[in-house]
Chains A and B, each alone.
Chain A
Amino acid sequence: GESVGLHLPTLSVQEGDNSIINCAYSNSASDYFIWYKQESGKGPQFIIDIRSNMDKRQGQRVTVLLNKTVKHLSLQIAATQPGDSAVYFCAENTPSGNTPLVFGKGTRLSVIA
């Protein structure tokens, strides 16, 4: 079946370095993608989104890249801080008119001070 997944389950980075979290999706009909950050014991927190008619979108310290050719999504975090430590999920929103999000398993980002 269609699925959203992540390549790496864990990622450790040094404070101040840039982080890159990757995600593969399999539904070529998906047209909207969201990255969420989830800290322990909390609900997912919206970080950034991108529509399929774009290939890059920037926020504050975060950039999302979308490669529709290979169905790949990435989240780049610049100057990673200890507060960025969390689990990151990508989610896709299919254009069916009824749009529950489909989430991958998540990548745990650990920032080493």
Chain B
Amino acid sequence: DTGVSQDPRHKITKRGQNVTFRCDPISEHNRLYWYRQTLGQGPEFLTYFQNEAQLEKSRLLSDRFSAERPKGSFSTLEIQRTEQGDSAMYLCASSSALGRGEETQYFGPGTRLLVL
């Protein structure tokens, strides 16, 4: 257990529905990342926060995706109007930014999404 928790662990939804995932990072970590992982691939970056500010978004993050970290602690990732191509494992990671190039990111267990 890394100290990063995610909820739910599994989600099955029908195409067109909205889903929301939650991530609770390690408490003293100021950076929080969202990644997506499909079967047989490495995680792909989606977006990240430093405290409550969303600093970077990947081009993978379409308009249907939105992430928030309102108080600089937990974060939510919402997918609107889900599509079958959204089926994947959504991973959250957190880190304590010590300086450039020295960020060990610790991952949560992931939320596995299946869109029917």
- Interface size band for A: 20 to 34
Chain A residues 43 to 86 lying within 8 A of chain B, measured CB to CB, are: 43-46, 49, 51-52
Q: Knowing A98-B56, A101-B43 are in contact, say whether A43-B101 is a contact too (CB < 8 A).
A: no
B113 at the interface (CB under 8 A from A): no
Q: Is B65 an interface residue (CB 8 A)?
A: no
Are B104 and A45 touching (Cβ within 8 A)?
Answer: no
**A43:B48 contact, CB within 8 angstroms:** no
Q: Does the CB pair A97–B100 fall under 8 Å?
A: yes
Are A103 and B44 touching (Cβ within 8 A)? yes
> Of B42, B44, B48, B101, which contacts A32 at CB under 8 A?
B101
Chain A CB within 10 Å — which of B4, B48, B58 has the most? B48
Task: Check if B40 is an interface residue, CB within 8 A of chain A.
Answer: yes
Tell me which residues from 101 to 116 in chain B have a Cβ below 8 Å from any Cβ of chain A. 101-110, 112
Q: How far is the CA of A61 from the CA of B55 in the complex (A)?
A: 37
Which residue of chain B lies nearest to A43 when distances are taken between CB atoms in the complex?
B107
| Cβ–Cβ contact B42 & A99, under 8 A | no
B contact residues around A49 at 8 Å (CB)? 104
Per DSSP, are chain B's interface residues mostly helix, strand or loop, or mixed? Answer: loop
Give chain B interface residues in 1-18, CB to chain A under 8 Å: 2, 4, 6
The chain A residue sitting closest to B45, CB to CB, is: A100
Query: Distance (Å) between the CB of B57 and the closest chain A CB?
Result: 10
Q: How far is the CB of A6 from chain B (nearest CB, A)?
A: 9
Known contacts A31-B101, A98-B55, A99-B100: does B106 contact A46 (CB below 8 Å)?
Answer: yes
Cβ–Cβ contact A43 & B55, under 8 A: no
Q: Which residues of A contact B101 (CB under 8 A)?
A: 31-32, 51-52, 93-95, 99
B42 with A106: CB separation less than 8 A? yes
Which residues in A have some Cβ–Cβ distance to B below 8 Å? 4, 31-32, 34, 36, 41-46, 49, 51-52, 89, 91, 93-106
7 A-B pairs with CB atoms under 8 Å apart are: A31-B100, A34-B104, A44-B43, A49-B104, A100-B56, A104-B42, A105-B40
